[in-house]
Amino acid sequence: MAKSREVKYVPRQPQAKAEMPKLPEMIDSQNKTCDQVFWGVLIGGEALALVMIYFGGKNLAEALSAEPNWGVITMAALLIIFGLITAIGTFRASLVMAVMTAARTMSFEACRQYCMKAVKARAFIPGGVAWAIQTLLEFMVQKGEFDQVIEVGEREYNAALAKNPKEYGFGSVCACVGTAYSMKQDFHKAVDWLEKAGGQYKDMFASLEKGNKTAKIPGGADNVYLRYAETMLALSGSYLRLNDKRNAKEKVSMVYELTKKVKDGPEKETILKRAQEIGKYLKHW
């Protein structure tokens, strides 16, 4: 008789538990670096503006004291005007640079501080402060301050639309509010705000494509298309949580369409993987 094989018992190895992805750590020790960037840009720019205004004023006074030389007067006046423009623009530039530094170093307190400064001084900042509100809300979402995200986001969005009904620069702001509602398990309001975000992005691209200005988007069009795709992905997930699979599938399809316009990269790959995961629940729709 053939010998029976002995089967050795091998204890099953414990499998690692799946962990939620960790958000970037907020390193508030870099706040001083952000302060240095802010004051460095501000002092340097304002010093340049003062020099321009000083020499412009000096040349203007000399030109007017003698027989008027309109060429010198014109150049001096232009120098003063450019000096004033530089003075105003420097303040905005210093805030933008400080916020960008805070974003790179994940310094939440510095980000909050300079974004709030920008919001309070919005009357003196050319181009508006949507960028500051957006950055602030994104950091607040990461910190889990969802009630504040909703309060600030709704207030700023409604104020912007009251001022300009055709406003289309608040896509990320609406997306942050939608994300906050989603995290609070209020999926109906999440859908409402994520739809608003999608509408903002759609109107923005429609306006830019009319004037062939897509290539001039700060940070590149790819970055905004990815934000748009992320919004549609979040919207699809919210619809799925409401068991509205038809709309969920439609938004997933939009994710694929939007990512086709973007160059390959890690972020695009992550979005597509998440879209595929949602798509598994929508095979029969």
> What span, in angstroms and rounded, lies between the C-alpha atoms of 16 and 11?
15
> What span, in angstroms and rounded, lies between the C-alpha atoms of 132 and 209?
25
76-85, 141-150, 181-190, 203-212: segment of lowest average pLDDT? 203-212
> What span, in angstroms and rounded, lies between the C-alpha atoms of 122 and 130?
10
| Pair (228, 202) in one structural domain | yes
Domain count for the chain: 2
Q: What is the pLDDT of residues 39-59, one digit of tens each?
A: 999 999 999 999 999 999 988
Q: What is the pLDDT of residues 45-97, one digit of tens each?
A: 999 999 999 999 988 888 888 777 888 888 989 999 999 999 988 988 998 89
> Which structural domain range is residue 181 located in?
129-285
pTM: 0.73
For position 142, what pLDDT does the model report? 86
Last residue of a domain, one of 128, 156, 180: 128
Does residue 11 lie within any of the structural domains? no
| Pair (120, 133) in one structural domain | no
> What span, in angstroms and rounded, lies between the C-alpha atoms of 247 and 244?
6
Q: What is the CATH number of the domain that holds 183?
A: 1.25.40.10
| Pair (111, 150) in one structural domain | no
Q: For residues 231 and 196, is the Cβ–Cβ distance under 8 A?
A: no
| Pair (49, 136) in one structural domain | no
pLDDT band per the 50, 70, 90 thresholds, residue 23: very low
Q: Is the pLDDT of residue 238 over 70?
A: yes
| Pair (108, 133) in one structural domain | no
Last residue of a domain, one of 81, 112, 128: 128
| Pair (97, 212) in one structural domain | no
Helix (H) or strand (E) holding 190: helix 187-210
> What span, in angstroms and rounded, lies between the C-alpha atoms of 130 and 151?
15
Q: What is the DSSP letter of 218?
A: T
| Pair (82, 214) in one structural domain | no
Last residue of a domain, one of 128, 162, 187: 128
| Pair (169, 279) in one structural domain | yes
